[in-house]
Amino acid sequence: MEREMADRWLERSILGTVLVMLVFAALATGAVRPQDFVVVQGLLVVATGLWIVRFWVNPSHRIQWTPPCWAVIAFVGYALVRYHQADVEYVARQESIRILVYAWLFFIVLNNLHRQQTTQVLVAVLLGVGMLIAVYAVAQFLTRSNHVWHFVKPPQYAGRGSGTFICPNHLAGFLELLVPLALAALFLSRARALARILYAYVALVMLAGIGVSISRGGWLATAVALAALFAVLIQYRQHRRTALGVLVAILVGLGLFLKKSDRPMKRLQDTLAEGQLDSGLVRPELWKAAGRMWRDHLWWGVGPAHFDVRYPAYRTQHVQSRPLWVHNDYLNALVDWGVAGGAIIGAFLVALAWGAGRTWKYVQRGTNDLNPKGSDRSAHVLGACASLLALLVHSVVDFNMQVPANAMLTVTLMASLSSHLRFATNRYWVRPHSMGRLLATLLGGLACYYLAAQTSQRHRELSLSLTSSRAETWREWVARLEAAHAVEPQNPDTTYSLGEAYRLQSWEGNDDWEALAAAAMRWFDLGMRLNPYDPYNPLRYGMCLDWLKRHAQADVFFTWAWRLDPKNYYVSALRGWHYLQAGDLAAARQWLEHSRELKAYDNQVANTYLTIVLERLAHRDTSPPSTPPAPDR
């Protein structure tokens, strides 16, 4: 009896820890900031430790090993191999840690949160959080607030509700995973009348949240998911009339929203408008670059999270900003992982769909005309399938799987859906004996140790890096950055920041300016070795050489930077600045004008120095300007 009670409390503790992970990630702007994902890593370590204890407290504890588990293990192994082959170790390691977190979360949910009562608590909490976030998004939309907590959203998201997410598209991605769960529970669960009213209200509020996000991909994904959901519901005679009524109500609400608000219609009109930040023409430019990148690395991909690393060489003129991701999760996976990784992901999805199809035949028996009470199992399976369908559709035009909050919610639903395969067959239950529990403890312990060590290291690095920006003196700023580099010597962003700190101090022109310039060059040189694809390290190295009047040597590094990123307006502008320093006004004019061709708007460096060049050409003055260009990246 004591063992059963301890096992029950351990299960509840794991449930609570997983819920804290999911809720925290959603409230912390999707956990996209490294300092927030560190908290997620720490919570996963706690959940893993609880699971290990549960193995030994309850010797009869069984695990499920459904077909998708093989694909999860295969992808984790493949990710670790590709990590060791990656060009930029730091970026690949952070991505591999995310893969490990998601994979381990899948196994924890699959084997600890599969009981019906546990599933109901999990879904109820998530629906409650989703409703509150949607209310926040509606308030943002109505008040035209541009804040998320204390953060200010980028200008391109003005006028759109984003809830606790910075990007409204990610809010839509989060809510579209929850709306089908609420609607399926409304129609198919065994809930009483009051609970059904709550489910209807929650679904309505979250649909409003998706509406005010003005996410075109979110709208499309939700529409497809709801169409599939209602196509199933109208097959039940006792639900047909109600389902049609709810569908009509949703369509009427959508029509009124589009009629009363001009912002949704304007965003739809901007879809094919050139030069607009909201234009849907930007994504095809990214897809074009990603397609070329994948063709060059067809089978194995460029490496974990290396699309952004390798993008400069494939940049198109129309995307001058840093894209980070492809804005298409399928193409992003092929670029990073190649055909081999894509095949493993495809095998996982096929295995999950096969399991859902087989499960549906058994769980839906509780819901028919002879048994009108409904079935919580069928409600959860149908809702989860529709939710995942929404995400699959949305992934064609966005990158929700790169947002930890949405990725973890997706993994949780996938694991929960796969756990329902136990209602179809008992063949996937495994009861580990002493050696099995020992092996599970060893694997869990290794995962705990690695994640705990990485969490601690990442936390110390981030604490130093983030506080460096608040340093009161230059020496304090540099000291904290150097301490962060000592904690994590593989981070190329830290070395770049250190190089910039020394370069800017050198350009103050004090007595030690030459020594400071030499120190800056050492950090930029290290950055070139840590990330050989970043054009900004050789660019800044060349600027230091120009500052030291070594213009011939500087030309080598400006050419190097241009070859790494040949269609970058800023690289071209600084190459023009370099020729201005060297006194070659004709070359300076050529590169500065080329920079303005690449980006005609918001190009201060090119505009400023082109004016200087034209004035010098008019007076044949070849002396370099006294003011260096402002830093940009």
Q: How many CA atoms lie within 13 A of 12 on its CB side?
A: 6
Task: Specify the pLDDT at position 254.
Answer: 65
Task: Give the pLDDT means over successive 10-residue stretches in the chain (633 positions).
Answer: 82 94 96 94 93 84 90 96 96 95 95 90 95 96 91 88 94 96 90 87 93 90 91 78 72 66 59 50 88 96 95 91 91 96 96 93 62 76 95 93 96 95 86 78 85 91 88 90 95 95 92 92 96 96 94 95 95 94 92 92 89 86 60 56
Contact 545, 530 (CB under 8 A): no
Task: Specify the pLDDT at position 365.
Answer: 57
299 DSSP 8-state letter: T
Residue 4 burial (10 A CB sphere; 0-12, 13-18, 19+) = exposed
429 bridge partner residues: 64
Measured at the alpha carbon of residue 440, what is the angle toward residues 437 and 443, in degrees to the nearest 5?
Answer: 150
152 bridge partner residues: 147
- Domains, the chain, in order of start with CATH, read 1-61+432-473 (no CATH), 62-431 (no CATH), 474-619 (1.25.40.10)
Helix axes 34-57 and 434-468, enclosed angle (nearest 10): 160
Distance of CA 573 to the CA centre of its chain: 31
What's the token pair of residue 73? Answer: 């293990």
Q: For tokens 């260009």, what's the residue?
A: 629
What's the token pair of residue 135? Answer: 């209310």
Q: What is the pTM of this model?
A: 0.92
**Distance linking the first and last C-alpha atoms of the chain:** 63
User: Comparing C-alpha atoms, which of 500, 448, 335 is closest to residue 53?
Assistant: 448
CA distance 459 to 612: 46
Return the SS3 of 148.
strand
Most distant CA atoms of the chain, gap in Å: 95
Beta strands at 147-148 and 151-152: parallel, antiparallel or unpaired: antiparallel
Q: How many CA atoms lie within 13 A of 397 on its CB side?
A: 18
CA distance 606 to 284: 27
One-letter amino acid for residue 249 of the chain: A
Contact 10, 50 (CB under 8 A): yes
133 DSSP 8-state letter: H
Residues in contact with 520: Cβ distance below 8 Å, sequence separation at least 6, in sequence order: 499, 500, 501, 502, 503, 506, 540, 544
Return the SS3 of 368.
strand
